[in-house]
Structure 1
Amino acid sequence: MEPLFTRRRTIGQLSGLFGGLFLPVSSVQKPSVSNSFKYCLNMSTLRGHKLGFEKELQIAAQAGFRSVEVWVDTAQDYLKQGKTLADARKVITDLGLTVENAIGFAPWIVDDAGVRSKALEQMKREMDMLAGIGCKRTAAPPMGATTSPKLDLTKVAERYRIILELGTQTGVIPHLELWGFSSNLSKLSEVMYVALESGHPSARLLLDVYHLYKGGSSLASLPLVGKPAMEIFHVNDYPANLTAEKITDADRIFTGDGVAPIQKILKAIHTPEQPLILSLEVFNKSYYAQDPLTVAKNGLAKMKAATGAV
């Protein structure tokens, strides 16, 4: 097998990811905020309403979103009802939506070779389905390694490269997702290492306001990610009364309603030449108790308010 991390490849990857950091200040233009971000709804925000695949899409469109992140299991449930990929794609197209990413949980990262083999089969099926509805990305979180001992990150990079090759075949690229609560890939430094060490040009990171806080990553390092390593970014917020140790997924709140340094984060990650997709991802039970259309509208309004201050 070709070495994963040659000197030449390292230089090429670093120059692509970090090159923008070393431009003279005079050459850096102030971004146009209107062109810096695309607003997207992660269906986690409506997941507790139990609306189903088609109704979730309808709510997103009615609220004013044009981009969405779907959950793989919700799409699979839709197909199990006798619907087809063509049916799903027509619904998406008719609503004027783009499916930017999907949330799946295949345990591709684990040490157990048998589990990984089944995970690859699972990801291939999921990617084929996603390609059929026009989705070109899928999340690749450290599923199955959240409570396990620390994995060898060089081996993780090899495994990530394998699913990236699968993504090249299917046209659905897995984005390496940081999970702040996990014992593996909980820090920005770890996902950056794995992405670089994979030596694959399609390597991408999927980061999140909450997970950066939960995992204790320094926001000062965010500009090091650079482009094109980030295409989509999960936005949310967190309240002042919860430490990183105590906060959970369910505690996430709308962007701008908490104490997260939203503007600092957005200024660090925006790339006006290639608009970044900001996707609202919350799992808040109090929102699930509200009207779903109201939740989606409020979420979009608060995202726009946050980016307007950048």
Structure 2
Amino acid sequence: MKNYTVKLYRNEDLETWNAFIDKAKNATFLFNRNFMEYHNDRFEDFSLIVEKDSKWVAVLPANVVNSEVFSHQGLTYGGLVYDEKLKLASVIAIFKAILIFLETHNKTKLQIKLLPHFYADVASEELNYALFLAKAQLIRRDTSAVIDLQKPFLITKGRMEGVAKALKNNLIIKEEQSFDSFWNEILLPQLDKNHQAKPVHSLEEIQSLNKDFPDNIRQFNVYYQDKIVAGTTIFETKNVAHAQYISGNENKSILGSVDFLYHYLITEIFKEKRYFDFGISNEKQGEKLNEGLSFWKESFGANIVVQDFYEVSTANYDLLENVLV
């Protein structure tokens, strides 16, 4: 196996990191340092850079908690990032080098939440195989509802009835630059009322991220008689439109507001995109399924894709010693 050098990311690596992410085959804007560092007060960064002959060949967005490293707890997905020139044997060698680096730095475990395959530009599941070789344990599995927009899909009668209600009630959809009304009048009150929870991003954080990524973070609101009644925040990547937040007020079933909004997004705004990702409907670390929410998403013609979370002991690097024949 080739020799690779692993080092910790430093602030002065920011521009090189972002340039590498832009060219990788399995990265999105979430791996850009300008996105990752919005919550650097909550996570201790432990991102890794892998070099061969002083040239960057891979990066691992990560944070650390005591003796465990995570890729990355503040991101929806993670894993090893590299370009399409890298072959499977090289990825195995790189993963071995990372485990050795972590072991020598007294880190005992590495947790990885894999990038769902449809976010990548091309197939990029080399890390999945390396995790198998290193006897990584599957510790969590979430289910995302995803529409392949370039293939026929069926929106059910129930969803279309919601669209009809919205049209009858003269609802209006607007894409807006401001997130204030959705956060303050819809998202925060409904999350608190229904789940006693708060969104991952504060209003200030989503506004700041939108300034850095105006083409990737988009807000769509629904109005009834000039009053906001529903909305959604979309994270748009090259291949995928992802519903980061979905919420409507207590009259959403009567007005058909959320059905109307998503029908519009799927059939108009993002119809040329490859995939539409509604996100997960899981709770309790993947062990529970919100049946009603999953049913609603699937009713738009979405099918289920799993996202896997693995944990591997850094001492298992020796299992990658003699795998090539």
Higher helix share: 1
TM over 0.5: no
Higher Cα radius of gyration: 2
TM-score (norm 1): 0.32
TM-score (norm 2): 0.31
Higher strand share: 2
